[in-house]
Chain A
Amino acid sequence: MRFLEKKLARFGELFAPGKPLEKFYPVYEALDSFCLTPGTKTVQAPFVRDAVDLKRTMMFVILGLLPCLGMGVYNTGCQILLAKGEAVTFASCISLGLMKVLPIMFVAYAAGGFWEVLFAVVRKHEINEGFLVTGMLYTLIMPPTVPLWQVALGISFGVVIGKEIFGGTGYNIFNPALVSRAFLFFSYPAQFSGDQVWVALDGHTRATPLAVLSNAGTGSRAVMALQESGYPFSDLFWGFIPGSIGETSTFACLLGLMFLLITGVASWRIMAGCGTGLLVTAGIFFLLQGPDRLTFFSLPPHWHLVLGGFAFGAVFMATDPVSSCATNTGRWIFGFVIGILIVLIRVVNPAYPEGVMLAIVFMNAFAPLIDHLVVERHIKKRTELMALRSGGV
């Protein structure tokens, strides 16, 4: 390690004050602390510190995303082969998938990283590792058919408008990956509406599961309609359906969820809130089904869990600690309302087939208000309790 330390120190001299690369010090700092822990020492109490830092925390979110990425790569290739009608082998799925996913990921990291570094240099702050997560999340919610220039445009908008103008990671109001996606969604509805499937093969069209249900008219045969269109429950659960890269597999999301909960990186309350909100609302619709009601009403609630981007959104997007609520009660409410909104947009909104992204971005905007109300209630309860306790027990 001494060798690396010396090399880095010598390289770092180029970035010292007064040297030509002084302005790019954040880049050096990022590289340096990527290779070696900073090694700074405490100067005031508390003199000992926990071994965890933000790099490691963010690293663990990325580890949690790996099942979704792996599944996404496999499935992207698999869908192409299925659409072509060719034989599906593991190796060909992976290689085809990598050819589609890697360029998207590369462009997302490169374009987003450019803005991240630019802002770090101009505003003289450290390059924040939160960007690594944003880039990965963004890649996983891209359709595999997306043109690469749109990838670059979307992440640029998300990083600059969604995050940096608020002051960078930790100060953003909206989830930057979702802001990017929403920007593309409204700018290029032809490619992003979600009515037609995203299989990376020219000329292939087929309705998505949510579009199948939206277009099914009235009646009570939602499950049958899905199955007839080639979407059985198991395929939806394991993720062998066309869709955005990382969102199709509920199973992979469950693996990520378990990892995030075991390591304690994400808040379980938001996820639980999302699940409860979704199931309760879908349950109410299920009870209201009838021959003259929309077919979507008759979809059993648990099907909602595996449809569209719900699992991915609830596990990885809604739980972003910066843009969600920061009180425990608030987290429950935040998640619960997201669950409700998702079902409402899916079932009774004729404009958009899927509502996960919109529901989360919408609730991001309301998170501070929810927190404010919860904190006010806390203060009120606290004042009463203090008055009660004051003067001895």
Chain B
Amino acid sequence: MKIIKIQKGRDIPLKGAAEEKIVSLPLPQTVAVQPPDFHGLRLRPVVRIKDKVLVGSPLLEDKTDSRIKVVSPVSGIVSEIYRGEKRALLRVAVQCDGQQKALRFSRYSLKDISALSSKNIIGQLLAGGLWPFLRQRPFARTARPEDCVKAVFVQAHITEPLAPNLDFLLQGKEEAFQLGLDILKKLTSGKVFVCCSPQARSQALTEAKGVEVFGFSGPHPAGNVSTHIHCLDPVRKGDVVWYLGAEDVLRIADMFSQGQFNPQRTVAVTGEGASTRLYYQTVLGVPLRHLLMDPFLDEQRFLSGSVLRGTDVGPDGYVCFYDQQITLLPRGGKREFMGWLHPGWNKYSFSRTFLSSLQKRHPERHVSLDTDYHGGHRAIVLNHIYDDYVPLDILPYFLVRAILSGDLEEAERLGLLECVEEDFALCSFACPSKFDVGGVIRRGLRMLEEEG
């Protein structure tokens, strides 16, 4: 394994990590797929309420390319097709019948798989509903089957606060993982990169063959896909790379070796608000209530994903398609007397303007944060702080300025194509003006995408 050291960035030592123990859960009553999770797809339902579906039966398909399908993770009956404002499709829910009967696809022996062409592989991934697991850069949208890809990245290391340890999840799954990697290799003329933690112990990662394994050491965002791509094979205008999560590599392997859609998803329950924090083996699109054993406290925020990148789904929400973590965060908003004068022995800040920065940074010391904004919106004044949290070769302040002034050409030259909003989450976190840096980046990418 080659090691790449990331210097810039910072870890937020949040309280409430999940204990490294996997517990299998019984099937939930309902599961849901949520079209807003799939950036770049325009999905329409192909089922109606009360239709019977099997594991792997299509629920949604893309309007522009009907080969791309999103399939059901359980067998049962379609119970809800929920639309929001302007009839935007927000959710398709399936009531489980508990039998998990699966739709059958072609099965291949190991020897057959090595003889498969990329066309066959793409065909099977599309038919089996695995396509949406592949995403592309630039724009972090669902991959397009006809694109010529210069590299495939497997994300086996997440550095966001309280993120699940993927190395731990891959232990004992080296065969399936290797098979998945072999299949991925056929999708690209370039290389397949597996990016993991330098401390990775699982043989699936350390012994992976035929691919490039890189360990990314250093603070967050060392585990972000943008960081990996930037360091190993940067995206220039016209380039496309694909990426996917480590667990989804196993899913691809199962599709070929077993001939069916593997709906399993391991979700880490994290955050100070959760009383039992474990890894749960369950299915895609599981409702949050199913994962939380305790009765809910009102003063919580229910996030699918991490505090830096997640979505607030509420206590009745479902885990988002790509997320492997839920975070329960205490609600903030307590007003404090003259906060600007507070000595701040127990305040958490990247800046050195609180007494807490005198405390020694102890690896075991964890902080408790809530959803308080800690200030009001202002124009950017301190423009030198962003640079410390973005390891990409990018000038964040100037990129933001270019987007705000609508100069997309300049933004592209400054490296907009290389990043997505999650890469700037730490900037938004640290900004004393409470400026939403990630939001501006998202807006810039949307504009660029629409321009074509």
Contact = CB atoms under 8 A, between A and B. Distances in A.
B372 interface: yes
B408 to A, nearest CB: 14
B310 A49 contact: no
A126 B384 CA distance: 23
A98 to B, nearest CB: 23
B337 A168 contact: no
Contact of A51 (B374, B378, B382, B438): B374
Contacts of A391: 150, 190, 233
A40 interface: yes
A46 B335 contact: no
A389 B4 CA distance: 14
B352 A56 contact: no
B342 to A, nearest CB: 8
Interface in B313-347: 327, 329, 331-341, 344, 347
Interface stretch (B71-79, B164-172, B246-254, B424-432): B424-432
B308 interface: yes
B232 interface: yes
Nearest to B310: A45
A53 interface: yes
A54 B430 CA distance: 11
Contacts of A202: none
Contacts of B372: 37, 39-42, 49
Interface stretch (A279-287, A320-328, A339-347): A320-328
A321 B335 contact: no
B384 A326 contact: yes
Interface extent on B, as a size class? 35 or more
Interface extent on A, as a size class? 35 or more
Given A42-B373, A45-B309, A321 B378 contact: no
12 contacts: A41-B372, A45-B309, A46-B428, A47-B371, A48-B14, A48-B307, A49-B372, A51-B347, A52-B375, A126-B377, A391-B190, A393-B232
Nearest to B341: A59
B336 A1 contact: yes
A56 B339 contact: yes
B429 A48 contact: yes
Interface in A334-364: none
Contacts of A49: 372-375, 428-429, 434
B105 interface: no
Contacts of A48: 12, 14, 161, 307-308, 329, 369-371, 429
Contacts of B296: none
Contact of A321 (B236, B344, B381, B425): B381
B369 A265 contact: no
B395 interface: yes
B414 interface: yes
The 9 A-B residue pairs with the shortest CB-CB distance, nearest first, are A53-B375, A170-B379, A37-B339, A51-B347, A55-B340, A39-B335, A36-B335, A48-B369, A40-B373
